[in-house]
A and B are shown apart, each in its own frame.
Chain A
């Protein structure tokens, strides 16, 4: 595997389910990000981790819970989501939090 990978690529869940999104980067980067992409809207930055520490949390509802166990892996734990949370969730990484970000393919999430 090369670059940034995300699993699953597609996810359908009910509002009472608990699921997790996984991101792995094979670039040796130190910063990782979660973004939400909805139609006709700019990418919304959700969380930033630098050297495994959360450095930014942009007023994201607590039903989204990030986890960064090491510099190569990033998770987004989901629970009791709402239909308006349906979107493409993108993971990105960069050498540092000040440099160019490289994106994964995204997870298309549908909340029923």
Chain B
């Protein structure tokens, strides 16, 4: 069964404390993996698309990586404004979303 699993479900970090979020997937024929950020009461905001194992993309304090079975979103020296839910989605024959990781960065 095609599936996307994100971990942890929730993460609390001190400001400046780097960490990683995980997105593991079991789909046939991966066409792309997407990361989104979602703030409370708002729609998901696109961050990155990764297409092949070994690919990496960066934006400010965020770096996304992809292997054949999972993707990581690394957050370096996070700030309180990075607090949000981070969603992962994979595209195979259709799009599959994970349930997200709720990140709280404490000043």
- Write the residues of chain A forming the contact surface with B, with a CB cutoff of 8 angstroms: 4, 6, 40-43, 45, 56, 90, 92, 98, 100-106, 108
Contacts and interface: CB of A to CB of B under 8 A. Distances in A.
Interface of B: 4, 31-32, 34, 36, 41-46, 49, 87, 89, 91, 94-99
B43 A104 contact: yes
Contacts of B36: 103
Contacts of A92: 43
10 contacts: A4-B43, A42-B99, A45-B95, A100-B32, A100-B46, A101-B46, A101-B95, A103-B43, A103-B46, A106-B41
Given A40-B99, A41-B99, A100-B49, A105 B94 contact: no
A34 B52 CA distance: 27
Contacts of A40: 99
Ranked nearest first, the 9 interchain pairs of A and B with the lowest CB-CB distance are A103-B43, A43-B97, A42-B97, A103-B44, A105-B43, A106-B43, A104-B43, A42-B99, A100-B49
A45 B98 contact: no
B49 A106 contact: no
Contacts of A106: 41-43
Given A42-B4, A106-B42, 10 more contacts: A41-B99, A42-B99, A43-B87, A90-B44, A98-B31, A102-B46, A103-B44, A104-B43, A106-B41, A108-B41
